[in-house]
Structure 1
Amino acid sequence: MNREKRSMLLSCLFMGLGQLYNKYFLKGIVLFIIELLYLIKIPRIIKGIWGVVTLGETTQKMNGFQIIQGDHSVFLLIEGVVTIIMLFILLGLYIWNIKDAKRIGHEMDNCKSYMSTKQYLIKVYDRSFVSIMLTPATLGVLFFILLPIMVTVLVAFTNYSAPDHIPPRNLVDWVGFKNFIDIFKLKIWSKTFIKIGSWTVIWAALSTLLNYSCGLIMALMMNRKNIKFKGFWRTIFILPYAVPAFISLLVFRLLFSGIGPINNLIVSFGFDKIPFFTDPLLAKVSLILINTWLGAPYFMVLLSGSLTNISSSIYEAAEIDGASKWVQFRKITLPLLLFQTAPVLILTFAYNFNNFGAIYLLTNGSPTNSALRYAGETDILITWIFKLTNDQSQFYMAAVISIILFIFIASFSTYQFMKSKSFTEEDMM
């Protein structure tokens, strides 16, 4: 048996043995310690797997005035997910350990010179510096982004909700795909989901379209050669975006409320109050217009920069061919702007789809509608999810909606990015 096979066999038996056999002591010791630590934690690993499978078996009980703690299903679920992630990391290291031992053994069989620890560290630094620097961020993404996503997905397959399945007093159970079936089959859920989902799509589409269109109009006006005081006008138009949206939204809520200054002024002229936020249709129109006022300045700045990148020679050639200003805009300006800003447009749609702050701060989903389950007329999916979790403790259904929302946004964004000429063509101008 040659050194390559012996190295592989040793590393299969225990991580790091193949490296130690070939005198790569630092690498071998590190791998050996990692597997040893995992072996020491075997009881904890078994408990983690047990927890995610059973979600607990013992409920909290009262013995007189003494509380006897039971299993906390959610904690067990999270601990189980962490255990699974750590096991996948170990599996990845184990496979790499075998491949590395094979490579080292092969090099030794072919009489390549042994590399000292110092030489090895220098080689790793030179070849893998970027990977080393990115590893902490990768681990952060793994535990602070991937972990919550995995837990949310798993919660969607449980009955984690008030009042009967909130730990530690009660246990949570696995229910399979029942929740996904209920959201489309049960009328109280399906009616709310379809209505809120439809409004969310309309809200995101109109908000993005109006933000872009108004920003484009302002950018075109600012780009005219004969306009005076450009700096002044740009400053005025950028102010809505420069002021924190949180403050602006609260000010608008006060201005357009039933007892706000605008309605008081309308009443003083002898007219009836306008139900800006209490009439369903008017509330939705008000939300879209206010969001346009907040977002259009951003696109004005973005498109102003894009307009300066369009060569004037293109317009000169179009004028020579007899193209009108409208034809120049439709055939030259708009296609080139969309080519440059399509990714931002897609991301803006995704942002508006989850624009929690605008809805929550302006209307909080009002006006109410008794036909909707835990939602108001102006709620979008993200604010409905917030109410389901924060106000009603319906965590399982909130998780289901979150998954559907994620699938829709991810699919739409991916499709649009792939379809966009910004990614399929390198140069258009």
Structure 2
Amino acid sequence: MPQTSPATKDVKQKNHNVKLATILSLVFAGLGQIYNKRLLKGIIFLIIESAFLITMLNFIIHGVWGFITLGEVKGEDHSIILLIEGLVSLIVIAFAATLYVYNVIDAKRDARLLAQGESVPSVRKQIKDAYDAGFPYMMVGPGLVMLVFIVVLPLAFMISLAFTDYNLYNSPPRNLLSWVGFQNFVDLVTLSIWKKSFLNVLSWTLVWTVVATTLQIALGLFLALLVNDERVKFKRTIRTVLILPWAVPAFVTILIFSAMFNDTFGAINKDILSQFGMMIPWLTDPTWTKVALIMIQTWLGFPFVFALFTGVLQSIPRDMYEAADVDGGTRLQKFRFITFPHIMFATAPLLIMQYAQNFNNFNIIYLFNEGGPAVRGQNAGGTDILISWVYKLTFDTNNYNMAAAITIIMGLVVSIFAFYQFRKTAAYKEEGEM
């Protein structure tokens, strides 16, 4: 039986057509690998694509149709179900496209190696190489799939609703939804009822975030510096007392304060301010309600900041303060050039997260007065922030499209602010760059 000589085999491999292997892999996944004599890999790709076409093709076609049209027959087509099926179809297409592109790249890479004279590995070697290269992906893959369907899919659904006309008066299956583009965002800043509410809520959200967070940080820093002073006695007892507000669940504290600030029977008006002939409308006047909310958030937030700063102050080397004393540094100079830079370097990312957390601090706004009191001429309460307004639009008035649009704006604001601040934070830079 004639055998192929090594020289003839090398010539055949050098004549291996890279372009043909690429085209075959484009025509059908696995054909390029089979042409490259990577039989196991080629068969796996063939099985995957064949199974995908057999089981998923009809679902994908129907899902893409539903995503584009959101239904055509009232009472039969459910726009929300079609939208979800369409998003799932797009995710499946994305996974399939990724695998398909990998199939093409893999076939082209192997063809080039064969054309350069590389030998085709044995089946056992192929299995070993596939296991070694694919093991990390096998471990990460299930988690990635769960992440996509648990996190990405709901997020994509919410974003999609912002571009539809889904509200209380136009809801499936009685009515079909339609894509309206950016009309919801335009209405938010042009229609009087939405414009007034949106601007008032947005401005209060920004004021609330900056003032409440800054006050809790300032109070926490002041108390941490005070307790850390060497002349203060009973430090452990004082620290324990100052951290106690943090130990009580926040919702319990908020409900207690809500009762204490009650205009009629609250302890603050009835037992304290009444001694001075004062009765402040804490829950009926938007301005006083905002003042009360800021004070309560300062009370709730300062213990965490206090504990954070206390730990950082304990880690600052005493040698630096002794050197400053030798150079004649004042207390203010030591705070400015030693204490404050160390605190900011260690805690800036966490402080930034305090601002982001208060920007979306739903609990205190809703539990204290449900975002009230009501304000004439707008569909948001006097102390509603964006997140509490979104809650009301979703569950009280069923304006799902506007709620989704506002949520996107909230996400963009927080993301841009956090990204910019983290990039500028010294704690995220190399020490040599400081």
TM-score over 0.5 for the pair? yes
Question: Match for residue 51 of structure 2?
Answer: 37
Question: Match for residue 28 of structure 1?
Answer: 42
Q: Is the contact made by 1:3 and 1:108 (CA closer than 8 Å) also made in structure 2? A: no
- 1:302-317 matched pairs, under 5 angstroms: 302-317=308-323
1:237 lines up with 2:242 in the alignment: yes
1:51 lines up with 2:66 in the alignment: yes
Give me the whole-angstrom Cα distance separating, in 2, the residues matched to 1:425 and 1:155: 42
Pair 1:170–1:96, CA change in 2 (3 A): same
Q: Which runs of 5+ in 2 are unaligned?
A: 1-14
1:393 lines up with 2:398 in the alignment: yes
Give me the whole-angstrom Cα distance separating, in 2, the residues matched to 1:121 and 1:286: 67
Question: Match for residue 159 of structure 2?
Answer: 153
Pair 1:223–1:124, CA change in 2 (3 A): farther
Q: Is the contact made by 1:4 and 1:106 (CA closer than 8 Å) also made in structure 2? A: yes
Give me the whole-angstrom Cα distance separating, in 1, the residues matched to 2:156 and 2:183: 18
Residues 185-212 of structure 1, C-alpha deviation per residue, up to 9 Å, x if partnerless? 1111111111100000011111221121
Give me the whole-angstrom Cα distance separating, in 2, the residues matched to 1:115 and 1:191: 70
Letter aligned with residue 51 of structure 2? L
Question: Match for residue 250 of structure 1?
Answer: 255
User: Which of these residues, 187, 192, 198, is aligned with residue 193 of structure 1?
Assistant: 198
Question: Match for residue 365 of structure 2?
Answer: 359
Identity %: 44
Letter aligned with residue 297 of structure 1? P
Distance apart, 1:123 and its partner CA: 4.2
Question: Match for residue 100 of structure 1?
Answer: 106
Pair 1:38–1:125, CA change in 2 (3 A): closer
Give me the whole-angstrom Cα distance separating, in 2, the residues matched to 1:146 and 1:321: 57
Give me the whole-angstrom Cα distance separating, in 2, the residues matched to 1:128 and 1:231: 54
User: Which of these residues, 71, 75, 82, is aligned with residue 76 of structure 1?
Assistant: 82
Give me the whole-angstrom Cα distance separating, in 2, the residues matched to 1:240 and 1:131: 46
Distance apart, 1:380 and its partner CA: 0.1
Distance apart, 1:416 and its partner CA: 1.5
User: Which of these residues, 369, 373, 376, is aligned with residue 381 of structure 2?
Assistant: 376
Give me the whole-angstrom Cα distance separating, in 1, the residues matched to 2:393 and 2:275: 42
User: Which of these residues, 148, 167, 188, is aligned with residue 142 of structure 1?
Assistant: 148
Please say which of residues 357-366 and 112-121 is displaced more in the overlay.
Answer: 112-121
Q: 2:431 aligns to what SS in structure 1?
A: coil
Question: Match for residue 65 of structure 1?
Answer: none
Q: Is the contact made by 1:315 and 1:328 (CA closer than 8 Å) also made in structure 2? A: yes
Q: Is the contact made by 1:367 and 1:378 (CA closer than 8 Å) also made in structure 2? A: yes
Q: 1:231 aligns to what SS in structure 2?
A: helix
Give me the whole-angstrom Cα distance separating, in 2, the residues matched to 1:38 and 1:126: 26
1:2 lines up with 2:5 in the alignment: no
Q: Is the contact made by 1:266 and 1:273 (CA closer than 8 Å) also made in structure 2? A: no
Letter aligned with residue 208 of structure 2? W
User: Which of these residues, 166, 175, 182, is aligned with residue 177 of structure 1?
Assistant: 182
Give me the whole-angstrom Cα distance separating, in 1, the residues matched to 2:220 and 2:124: 58
Q: 1:249 aligns to what SS in structure 2?
A: helix
1:327 lines up with 2:342 in the alignment: no
1:215 lines up with 2:220 in the alignment: yes
Letter aligned with residue 224 of structure 2? A
Distance apart, 1:410 and its partner CA: 1.2
Letter aligned with residue 266 of structure 2? G
Give me the whole-angstrom Cα distance separating, in 2, the residues matched to 1:11 and 1:314: 66
Pair 1:274–1:32, CA change in 2 (3 A): same
Distance apart, 1:79 and its partner CA: 1.1
1:342 lines up with 2:328 in the alignment: no
Please say which of residues 136-145 and 126-135 is displaced more in the overlay.
Answer: 126-135
1:13 lines up with 2:18 in the alignment: no
Give me the whole-angstrom Cα distance separating, in 1, the residues matched to 2:253 and 2:137: 43
Q: Is the contact made by 1:55 and 1:77 (CA closer than 8 Å) also made in structure 2? A: yes
User: Which of these residues, 403, 408, 418, is aligned with residue 408 of structure 2?
Assistant: 403
Pair 1:220–1:127, CA change in 2 (3 A): farther
**Structure whose alpha-carbon radius of gyration is higher:** 2
Letter aligned with residue 27 of structure 2? L
Distance apart, 1:315 and its partner CA: 1.6
Please say which of residues 101-110 and 236-245 is displaced more in the overlay.
Answer: 101-110
Please say which of residues 331-340 and 21-30 is displaced more in the overlay.
Answer: 21-30
Distance apart, 1:121 and its partner CA: 5.1
Residues 69-115 of structure 1, C-alpha deviation per residue, up to 9 Å, x if partnerless? x1111111111111112112211111111111122233334444544
Please say which of residues 312-321 and 116-125 is displaced more in the overlay.
Answer: 116-125
User: Which of these residues, 161, 164, 172, is aligned with residue 167 of structure 1?
Assistant: 172
Give me the whole-angstrom Cα distance separating, in 1, the residues matched to 2:316 and 2:178: 60
Pair 1:122–1:305, CA change in 2 (3 A): farther
Q: 2:199 aligns to what SS in structure 1?
A: helix
Question: Match for residue 64 of structure 1?
Answer: none
Pair 1:218–1:394, CA change in 2 (3 A): same
